[in-house]
A and B are shown apart, each in its own frame.
Chain A
């Protein structure tokens, strides 16, 4: 009991400080050139669907941190995110990643879509298209697409615009920070119809929190 109390007394203030620092960055920026995350990623971390800004709430911390490092180094090419990531310290990256990982995934209103298209998307997400050596999305991104730490992010509850943009980026080579080139391999095999179907389905799939071991 004594130990628990001691641990609580020493750890909680530190954690709370990190949490406060992260909250400040996400709501106001870090005054060193990093603008407030929420301006694009929403106050609830849910992203801005129409603009293709992804949800961050509930994504696993290791994945978020790696993306920020990759934006900073240019390994993930993004003119909006690069200057922001460059203005963040290693510690701030860790803090922000942990902050968003702990945030509950917001419930988004279903965007809707043609039922036949949704069924086709569901088949890709759950079964894949093995005639073209395309595994099911959930085979790597985990059941219900909620992600597997550290390398496979949650994909359900991302907007159709974000998902289809990323697939297009892997296909063209504009995004190339996928480990083992797994997403490039899948993206190059997906037809335009399949991209539309799967991104519509994932955007409509009930949200689940990430952080899966």
Chain B
């Protein structure tokens, strides 16, 4: 019942935002508010064959290391960047992404399906191999995402989708300021050298750089994306307590460390940088006397 109301409200809001946009053609343009969407609660996953695959998708999402380990090349789980099993707003929630595909992506200059988008996650963020579109793991992840987006308007940019873009900071982001913020607010969980923490071999706090982290091709390595994620979600439970400037500074610090090579590497750092790393990125730059992306 609650879900029905939430869905109806979301649809109504969406319809209203559409009307505003239509009306604004003749009058003063008004900013269009993104529709608000609440995903169904976890305990409403149906107890049938469909629900079983939804649960399998959630398991893969929360414990990728165990349920999809053949596709993972680092210590991460999907849930590390998509908090709360992929439902938290401003943490790239699945319900926000599902309704936006197929979409044209500048990353590969093609229209990508949702499956292809997830394949990208495995290739870059998980530094692994892409599961095929018809693999059980992919079917489960897509099913889980579809279930979570149940009732969301197709094609809508929902409130809380993706990471909320942060305006450029007042002063240029700085490695040393970021280092101090990292020591004060991040190190307790992610370790002094960004290595994260494991218990009984399982990653509890994800590594932020180094061989066990995401590679140079992952969206998160872009400083603007990382700053947006950090601002809204970090430290865990204390989202939106860092200033925009602090989020940019600490993101700059974290992304100024070595990580696995971009799988699109062209054989030359300069060429790869030119083609894929033009903006918001330290790849190919020299930090503390070392060229990032070159240690391979």
**Is A185 a contact of B238 with CB atoms below 8 Å?**
yes
What chain B residues lie within 8 Å of A130 (beta carbons)?
Answer: 83-84, 87-88
- Of B198-206, B260-268, B279-287, which stretch is located at the interface? B198-206
**Is A143 a contact of B200 with CB atoms below 8 Å?**
yes
**Is B184 a contact of A142 with CB atoms below 8 Å?**
no
The residue among A130, A135, A186 with the most chain B CB atoms within 10 A of its own CB is A130
**Is B199 a contact of A139 with CB atoms below 8 Å?**
no
CA distance in complex: A128, B239 (Å): 15
Provided the pairs A130-B88, A151-B188, A180-B184 are in contact, do residues A135 and B237 lie with their beta carbons within 8 angstroms? yes
In the complex, per-residue mask of A137-151: 1 if CB is within 8 Å of any chain B CB, else 0? 001101100101001
CA distance in complex: A127, B43 (Å): 12
Please tell me if B193 contacts chain A, counting CB pairs below 8 Å.
Answer: no
Provided the pairs A133-B239, A146-B199, A148-B199 are in contact, do residues A180 and B84 lie with their beta carbons within 8 angstroms? no
Q: Give how many A residues have a beta carbon under 8 Å from the other chain's beta carbons.
A: 22
Q: Which of A127, A134, A139 contacts B42 (CB 8 A)?
A: A127
Please tell me if B189 contacts chain A, counting CB pairs below 8 Å.
Answer: yes
In the complex, per-residue mask of B198-235: 1 if CB is within 8 Å of any chain A CB, else 0? 11101011000000000000000000000000000001
Please tell me if B185 contacts chain A, counting CB pairs below 8 Å.
Answer: yes
Please tell me if B197 contacts chain A, counting CB pairs below 8 Å.
Answer: yes
Q: Which of B85, B88, B188, B198 contacts A180 (CB 8 A)?
A: B188
CB of B26, distance to nearest CB on chain A (Å): 40
Q: Across the two chains, which residue of chain A brings its CB closest to B197?
A: A148
**Is B237 a contact of A179 with CB atoms below 8 Å?**
no
**Is A140 a contact of B236 with CB atoms below 8 Å?**
yes
Q: Across the two chains, which residue of chain A brings its CB closest to B198?
A: A213
**Is A182 a contact of B199 with CB atoms below 8 Å?**
no
Question: Which residues of chain A in 142-192 are interfacial with respect to chain B, using CB atoms and an 8 Å cutoff?
Answer: 142-143, 146, 148, 151, 179-182, 185-186, 189
Chain A residues within CB distance 8 Å of chain B:
127-128, 130, 133-135, 139-140, 142-143, 146, 148, 151, 179-182, 185-186, 189, 212-213
Chain B residues within CB distance 8 Å of chain A:
42, 83-85, 87-88, 184-185, 188-189, 197-200, 202, 204-205, 235-239
